Amino acid sequence: MTNRTFTMIKPDATEKGSTGGILAMINAAGFRIVAMKMTHLGAGKAGQFYEVHKERPFYGELVEFMSRGPITAAILEKENAVEDFRKLIGATNPANAEEGTIRKKYAASIGENAVHGSDSDENAAIEGAFFFNKLEQF
């Protein structure tokens, strides 16, 4: 187990001005931001990031959505980071997300679900390295 996870605040949340509110919830839950940047993924980069979902029926829609506008990418540090962050963001489908979770408060649908959180330590390392080199991680 490592103590880091990776997150993206997605284009829907950026458009709605929810970035600050989401970061405040992340901080309040005890996560330390050790890397962060706002950027706009092109379809190529978005497709590469979500390559594991390439065969899924929603892949095209997902790539289109994730390249629609700016995102904020960050690496977060906390004991048990991956599992605790997934609890904080709530279920992928906001209709199933519990009260007090980020997706319950900010997400509109299973596709436009406001935030991403890594699902394993291994993917957290891969996804963090996709956006940040060593000099950009503190």
Residues making contact with ligand CMP (CB under 6 A): 53, 58, 61-62, 92, 110-111, 113, 116
Minimum CB separation of residue 135 from ligand CMP in Å reads: 26
C-alpha to C-alpha distance for 6 and 137, rounded to whole angstroms: 12
33 or 110, CB closer to ligand CMP?
A: 110
51 or 79, CB closer to ligand CMP?
A: 51
36 burial level (CB within 10 Å; 0-12, 13-18, 19+): middle
Say whether 40 is catalytic.
no
Minimum CB separation of residue 85 from ligand CMP in Å reads: 11
Three-state DSSP at 138 gives coil
110 or 126, CB closer to ligand CMP?
A: 110
84 burial level (CB within 10 Å; 0-12, 13-18, 19+): middle
Please tell me which residue in 116, 127, 128, 131 is annotated as part of the active site: 116
